[in-house]
Amino acid sequence: MSERKQLQPIEPTPLQAPVPQNVQGWERVGSLAGGVVMVGKGLRRGGLFGLIQVAIGGVALARGITGHSSAKSLLEKGRQDMHRVRTKIERAGDELRNLKASAEAAEHSAKTVSVDPAKAPKSQG
């Protein structure tokens, strides 16, 4: 009579790469709880401010459910960029210290080898 088709799971395409979770543990639980509270308060309050509360609560709920926060990703990326810049600055400082030390050593060796003009024979010109 009726044929039943088996449902095949849809595999994600390369464009739909899974988003890594960056919210775990108590932070995720707090987002879920805070989101539920905010949505509830916003619905009871009504009006424009209630709508804003519902929207913020919805964002917190989505953060807790998915385990991903775009804002946290941006902060982590900024922190990584700052660390990279700091490493480059420290490396440049080390290179400058090495350059200064070699310049001082060259200056010292030049002073010990220098010729005193009072004691040197005059050049014929």
Of 97 and 9, more confident: 97
| pLDDT tens-digit map of 61-74 | 999 998 888 888 88
Mean pLDDT in residue range 112-118: 64
Residue 12 has pLDDT above 80, yes or no: no
Mean per-residue pLDDT of the chain: 84
CB distance 57 to 37 below 8 Å = yes
- Give the C-alpha separation, 104 to 116, whole Å: 21
Of 77, 61, 70, the closest CA to residue 28 belongs to: 61
pLDDT at residue 69, as a whole number: 86
The residues spanned by each domain of the chain are 21-68, 71-104
